[in-house]
Structure 1
């Protein structure tokens, strides 16, 4: 886990407050991951690098799916990692699997119309 305050863990208990409600003020990317998933472990440093480079314009919430299966079900996740971008309390877009930094940055720009 990074020491960047824009990168944080969330659970079923605080997801609505820390992601849905907070996305009214700032876009939040949610990484649904599992420790047993090699693509998840490969994606984490890429996402953290992007968040660190965005200078607080985007936050990253991390959800460990084995401990938060209801959230995975709530969003109909079929594979991991899955990343969902929330803004204004709503899902703006998602992708699954490992992606290189340039593709993720293009996804963010497209979803947020940057």
Structure 2
């Protein structure tokens, strides 16, 4: 991961890092073989920097952590899900533009 502000969420730490977070969390479900996931990665880094302290940003590798994507019905990647207070607020699927991610974040701020 390019930015130190982008967390690596796993099946093991998801509850503590995402569901129990006191700020909204953006979770990018991705895989190393996914070209659109690679295309959106710099945007995820930018969002993490611009919203540092307001929103936690992280990624779940779906190949290494199959339980979380299954629990949240992730069928295509990249899928980006916004969590607030331990609940799903909204989600988008695909390599979306920055404006769409910012609109997603505004729902939680």
> What TM-score range do you get, normalising by the shorter chain?
over 0.9
1:52 corresponds to 2:45: no
Over the aligned positions, Cα root-mean-square deviation in angstroms equals 1.2
Unmatched 5+ residue regions in structure 1? none
Equivalent pair of 2:25/2:82 in contact (CA under 8 Å): yes
Unmatched 5+ residue regions in structure 2? none
* Aligned counterpart in structure 1 of residue 92 of structure 2, from 77, 95, 111: 95
* Aligned counterpart in structure 2 of residue 37 of structure 1, from 25, 34, 38: 34
Q: Structure 1 length as normaliser, TM-score?
A: 0.89
Q: Kindly provide the CA deviation profile for residues 56-86 of structure 1, in whole angstroms up to 9, marking residues without a partner as x.
A: 1111121000011111111111100001101
Is the partner of 2:63 in helix, strand or coil? helix
Structure 2 matches for 1:1-114, cutoff 5 A?
A: 1-4=1-4, 6-22=5-21, 25-109=22-106, 111-112=107-108, 114=109
Dislocated runs of 4+, deviation >2 Å: none
Q: Structure 2 length as normaliser, TM-score?
A: 0.93
Query: Whose helix proportion is higher, 1 or 2?
Result: 1
